[in-house]
Amino acid sequence: MNVYIDTSALIKLYYPEAESTDLQEWVRRENKSILYTSLHELELKNALALKVFRNEITGEAYSQLVQALDGDVEKSVLRRVHPEWGSVFHRSLEISDQNTPTVGARSLDILHVAIALTLGCDRFITFDDWQIRLSQKTKLEIVSIG
């Protein structure tokens, strides 16, 4: 069984938030590499840069967090995967057409679900309520953390 961890969860491994400890323990128990796409990288690094902009962290802290992310890629804690983006966007359009009118899904939420499905994942970890509702409409099982 493959699990996909979306950015709302993945950031909790690098920046302390309410569910960080529970997610870290889950990742340790699973003892598997975490799938990591270019969308994850963009969203994570941008979210951390926004924390600098909002004065939530310093520029130095940002640099350390980015180094930690890049180091985890080098150590294969985060396993870089390259989905076929044409298939992802095709799947995204199908998901949108079938679910947005009733679920109210946002584009990035749809993209994460489509990536997970395209990569053959059957489990999904998110702390985003929109993605939970959307995932429940697909074949993805939501993994409850905490």
Residue 146 pLDDT:
72
Residue 102 pLDDT:
93
With bands split at pLDDT 50, 70 and 90, how would you rate the model's confidence at 1?
Answer: low
Enumerate long-range contacts of 72-79, CB under 8 Å, 24 or more apart.
Answer: 73/36, 76/33, 77/33, 77/34, 78/33, 78/34, 78/36, 78/40, 79/33, 79/34, 79/35, 79/36
pLDDT at 98 over 70: yes
With bands split at pLDDT 50, 70 and 90, how would you rate the model's confidence at 68?
Answer: very high
Whole-number average pLDDT of the chain = 94
Domains of the chain: 3-142 (3.40.50.1010)
